[in-house]
């Protein structure tokens, strides 16, 4: 009899755990900025424990600290003859806190991805981080790093025209320095970003290249990403997340949601079972009590009847004797 009561007291705890897990799963993560876009490392490795390693660590620490206050910064550290250059660039619409978190995440991923490499670069959705011993600061670089195109727009020439309008708007220059650009038309959205070490004219040139390539290389795609070494341009339609990383992220979200619903369901069923079993236990008690009562009543009634019968019988017997 001791085992069932133990189980019953463990059940609510399990229930609480399940509910907590489902709440945790429903809480949105910062997937929009943390999603991996690309990363690369130089082939050359530095010697562990060398002054160069110390410089790399100093640069990466400086980047993380600085990203809490500004959306772009560059650092150069030269102790002995081992010079390291580093920079970070956050997407222009990020708050300082989000920028800092994004750069911290990128730097920690770089640490594992480019272990002991003399240089490395990593682009997340929300930020870009790069360090190297060859100077790249202030150098325009339009080489294509990542190109991704979505499925074709459904033979709708209006949609294609709208796409081109958005891209033209993204690429347009009014002479002012705009390293971060957003353009929207209906459900079509374009975003462009330069790394902050480019001059205004270099930034404009880089973005023109990226946007031109998007148009030609992605044709009539529903979405497209064009990441060059120092700038990028992207567009997407109808809230369609525009690349694989985001898509898997959505899948993850869907899975998390489904799981949360499932766990919620299980918790609900468990709750009902607990309730019903508690109810049945209570009912059992009442039933037992009622049984006892009825039994006692019947017993007493039976006794009465029996005694009466016995008396009657003795009376009859007595009468018979007469
Ligand atoms: C960068 O570091 C590597 C390895 O120590 C070295 O071979 C290379 O010459 C360095 N490059 C520059 C530009 O200092
Ligand atoms: C690097 O940072 C320094 C100091 O913040 C700044 O004066 C310089 O213009 C930056 N250089 C580049 C290439 O962004």
Looking at the CA of 135, name the nearest ligand. Answer: 1
Pocket probe for ligand 2: among 63, 74, 200, the residue whose CB has the most ligand atoms within 8 Å is 74
pLDDT at 175: 83
Q: pLDDT tens, position by position, for the chain (322 residues)?
A: 444 444 445 555 555 555 554 444 444 445 589 999 999 999 999 999 898 999 999 999 999 999 999 999 999 998 777 899 999 999 999 999 999 999 999 999 999 999 999 999 999 999 999 999 999 999 999 999 999 999 987 667 787 888 999 999 999 988 889 999 999 998 899 999 999 999 999 999 999 999 999 999 998 898 999 999 999 999 998 766 544 443 334 444 555 555 665 666 666 666 766 767 877 777 677 667 766 766 666 567 666 665 665 555 544 444 444 4
> What is the distance in A from the centroid of ligand 1 to the CA of 198?
24
Number of the ligand closest to the Cα of 80: 1
Q: What is the pLDDT of residue 154?
A: 66
Is the minimum distance from the CB of 138 to ligand 2 under 6 angstroms? Answer: yes
Please identify, by atom number, the ligand 1 atom nearest to the C-alpha of residue 82.
14
d(CA 74, ligand 2 centre) in Å: 6
Domains of the chain as residue ranges with CATH: 1-136+246-299 (3.30.430.20), 138-243 (3.30.430.20)
Evaluate: CB of 74 within 6 angstroms of ligand 2. Answer: yes
pLDDT in the model for residue 301: 64
Give residue 25's pLDDT: 45
Q: Report CA(286)–ligand 2 centroid distance (Å).
A: 82
SS (H, E, C) the chain: CHHHHHHHHHHHHHHHHHHHHHHHHHCCCCHHHHCEEEEEECCCECCCCCHHHHHHHHHHHHHHHHCCCCCEEEEEEEECCEEEEEEEEECCCCCHHHHHHHHHHHHHHHHHHCCCECCEEEEECCEEEEEECCCCCCCCCCCEEEEEECCECCCCHHHHHHHHHHHHHHHCCCCCCCCEEEEEECCEEEEEEECCCCCHHHHHHHHHHHHHHHHHHHCCECCEEEEECCEEEEEEECCCCCCHHHHHHHHHHHHHHHHHHHHHHHHHHHHHHHHHHHHHHHHHHHHHHHHHHHHHHHHHHHHHHHHHHHHHHHHHHHHHHC
Give the chain's radius of gyration (CA, Å): 37
What is the C-alpha separation between 192 and 174, in angstroms, rounded?
Answer: 15
**Probe residue for ligand 1, chosen from 82, 134, 135, 139 as the CB with the greatest number of ligand atoms within 8 Å:** 134
Q: Using the mean position of ligand 2's atoms as its centre, give its distance from the Cα of residue 181 in Å.
A: 22
Q: Is the CB of residue 133 below 6 angstroms from any atom belonging to ligand 1?
A: yes
* C-alpha pair distances (Å), 180 with each of 17, 67, 73, 92, 118: 44, 17, 15, 5, 30
pLDDT of residue 36: 96
Nearby residues of 194 by Cβ (< 8 Å), 6 or more positions away: 89, 179, 180, 202, 203, 206, 207, 230, 231
Let me know if 226 is exposed, middle or buried by CB neighbors in 10 A (0-12, 13-18, 19+): buried
């Amino acid at each position: 009899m001791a085992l069932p009561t133990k189980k019953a007291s463990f059940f609510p705890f399990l229930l609480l755990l399940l509910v907590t897990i489902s709440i945790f799963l429903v809480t949105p993560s910062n997937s929009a900025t943390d999603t991996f876009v690309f990363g690369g490392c130089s082939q050359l490795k530095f010697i562990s424990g060398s002054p160069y390693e110390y410089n790399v660590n100093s640069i990466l620490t400086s980047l993380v600290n600085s990203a809490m206050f500004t959306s772009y910064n560059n650092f150069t550290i030269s102790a002995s003859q081992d010079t390291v250059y580093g920079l970070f660039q956050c997407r222009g619409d990020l708050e300082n806190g989000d920028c800092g978190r994004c750069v911290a995440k990128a730097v920690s991923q770089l640490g594992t991805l480019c272990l002991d490499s003399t240089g490395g670069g990593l682009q997340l959705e929300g930020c870009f981080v790069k360090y190297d011993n060859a100077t790249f600061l202030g150098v325009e670089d339009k080489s294509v790093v990542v190109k991704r195109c979505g499925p074709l727009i459904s033979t709708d020439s209006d949609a294609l025209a709208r796409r081109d309008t958005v891209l033209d708007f993204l690429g347009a220059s009014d002479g002012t320095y705009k390293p971060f650009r957003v353009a929207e038309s209906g459900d079509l959205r374009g975003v462009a970003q330069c790394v902050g070490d480019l001059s205004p004219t270099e930034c404009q040139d880089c973005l023109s290249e990226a946007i031109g390539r998007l148009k030609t290389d992605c044709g009539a795609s529903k979405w497209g990403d064009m990441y060059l070494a120092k700038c990028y341009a992207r567009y997407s339609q109808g809230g369609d997340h525009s690349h694989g990383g985001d898509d898997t992220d959505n899948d993850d979200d869907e899975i998390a949601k489904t799981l949360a619903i499932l766990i919620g369901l299980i918790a609900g069923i468990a709750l009902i079972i607990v309730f019903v079993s508690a109810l049945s236990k209570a009912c059992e008690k009442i039933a037992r009590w009622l049984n006892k009562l009825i039994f006692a009543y019947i017993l007493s009634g039976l006794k009465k009847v029996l005694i009466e019968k016995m008396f009657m019988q003795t009376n009859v017997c007595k009468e018979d004797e007469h």
